Amino acid sequence: MKYVIYVLAITIITMILFIYGQAKETFLPKELTKTLFIKCRDIILKYLSKNKSATLNELENQISNVTAGVFWSRRKVKVIDSKKMVDSIIDNLVKNNKVDVKWVNGKKVIELK
């Protein structure tokens, strides 16, 4: 009887660890995307705090080839289309009232508030 309890306990612990690993693997793409977005947003805000304003091309150059990962996985995600990433980050920053978008000489200029 004693060994049956040990076998059941090990089986239950193994099932819990397996389910936990599967859940982490399921949510990994969302976590990687979120981490990359936050990292690129921080790079853009740091660049804007130094320079006060920047064009979209300057911001695209700042975040091109940025990679991000989470500590529990070897997988990493990288910015491939920096234009789309900058557009989504700027939309988020405008929505959160952190930056202003102005047009100067036909170019979109982003200024920190």
What was the pLDDT predicted at 3?
87
pTM of the predicted protein model: 0.83
What was the pLDDT predicted at 1?
80
Please tell me the distance from the alpha carbon of residue 69 to that of residue 75, in angstroms, as a whole number: 6
pLDDT in tens, the chain (113 residues): 888 999 999 999 999 999 999 999 999 999 999 999 999 999 999 999 999 899 999 999 999 999 999 998 899 999 999 999 999 999 999 999 999 999 888 889 999 88
The amino acid present at 64, given as its one-letter code, is S
**What domains sit in the chain, N to C, each tagged with a CATH number?**
29-112 (1.10.10.10)
